[in-house]
A and B are shown apart, each in its own frame.
Chain A
Amino acid sequence: MISIDIQKKLLTADGPITLSAQLDIQPGEFLSLFGKSGAGKTTLLRILAGLTSPDAGVIRVDGETWLDTRQHVNLPPQKRRIGFVFQDYALFPHLTVRQNVAFAADGRHDTAFIDQLLALTGLDALQDRKPDQLSGGQKQRGALARALARRPHLLLLDEPLSALDAETRLKLQEELLTIHRQLGVTTLIVSHDLGEVFKLSSRVLVLERGRIVRSGTPAEIFAGDNLSGHFRFTGDLLDIQANDVVFILSVLIGNVIVNVIATQEEIAGLRVGDKIIVTAKAFNPMIYKLSSFQGETD
Chain B
Amino acid sequence: MAAIKLDGLTKVYPGGVRAVDDLTLTIPDGEFFALLGPSGCGKTTLLRTIAGLEEATSGSVRIGDRDVTHLPPGKRELAMVFQDYALFPHMTVVDNISYPLKIKGLAKDDRLGRAVKAGDELSLDGLMQRRPAELSGGQQQRVALARAIATHPQVFLFDEPLSNLDARLRLEARTFLKRLQRDLGVTTVFVTHDQAEALAMADRMAVMDAGRIRQVGTAREVFQRPASTFVANFIGSTPMNLLSGVVRGQAVNVSGQIVQLPGDARQHVTDGQDVVVGVRPEYLSLSQSAADGALRGVVAIVENLGTASLVTLESDGFTVAATVADGEEPAIGTDAWALPIPGRTLVYRREDGELVDAPVVAAVA
A and B associate: no
